[in-house]
């Protein structure tokens, strides 16, 4: 197989996670219609990075997807971080999805860490092959 095309989309760029509930865009929106990206492609990869100190005990990242047959979010992969990453992670998505999004949430924030940022980056890479 040869690659016909690739395209990328961003979910978060240096988003400072402060919510203890899942949010789905860099404005902190948590509603069910927020953050969805069309992802109909042969290969789907989500790239994530936690760039600075955690401002909480942990940070949870959840990749969600929707299939053509159901208009409901399903959890595809979940990762819990307790320290900043020194390199990005790639999450290969094996499911054939219609839409995908990334949710992030912070754990309880101790008073001593309230001023510390918790920057998250996440993007989507779609590849078509023949």
Cα 29 to Cα 38: distance, rounded to the nearest angstrom: 18
Query: Residue 83: what pLDDT?
Result: 76
Query: Residue 80: what pLDDT?
Result: 87
pTM, to two decimals: 0.86
Query: Residue 125: what pLDDT?
Result: 94
Percent of the chain clearing pLDDT 70 (strictly above):
88
Query: Residue 54: what pLDDT?
Result: 66
Cα 89 to Cα 5: distance, rounded to the nearest angstrom: 22
Q: Report phi then psi at 101, rounded to 5.
A: -150, 165
CATH placement of domain 3-129: 2.60.120
Average of per-residue pLDDT across 65-88: 87
Structure tokens at 61: 């990242």
Q: What is the DSSP letter of 35?
A: S
Q: Domain-by-domain residue ranges, the chain?
A: 3-129
Cα 112 to Cα 116: distance, rounded to the nearest angstrom: 9
Cα 86 to Cα 73: distance, rounded to the nearest angstrom: 30
Residue 2 clears pLDDT 90, i.e. is over it: no
């Amino acid at each position: 197989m040869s690659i016909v095309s690739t395209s990328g989309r961003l979910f978060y760029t240096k988003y400072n996670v402060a919510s203890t509930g899942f949010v789905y865009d860099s404005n902190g929106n948590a509603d069910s219609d927020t953050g969805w990206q069309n992802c109909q492609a042969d290969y789907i990869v989500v790239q994530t990075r936690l760039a600075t100190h955690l401002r909480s005990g942990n940070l949870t990242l959840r990749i969600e997807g929707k299939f053509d047959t159901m208009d409901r979010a399903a959890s595809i992969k979940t990762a819990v971080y307790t320290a900043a990453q020194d390199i990005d992670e790639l999450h290969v998505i094996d499911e054939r999805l219609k839409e995908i999004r990334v949710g992030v949430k912070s754990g309880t924030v101790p008073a001593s860490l309230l001023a510390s940022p918790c920057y998250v980056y996440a993007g989507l890479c779609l590849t078509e092959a023949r």
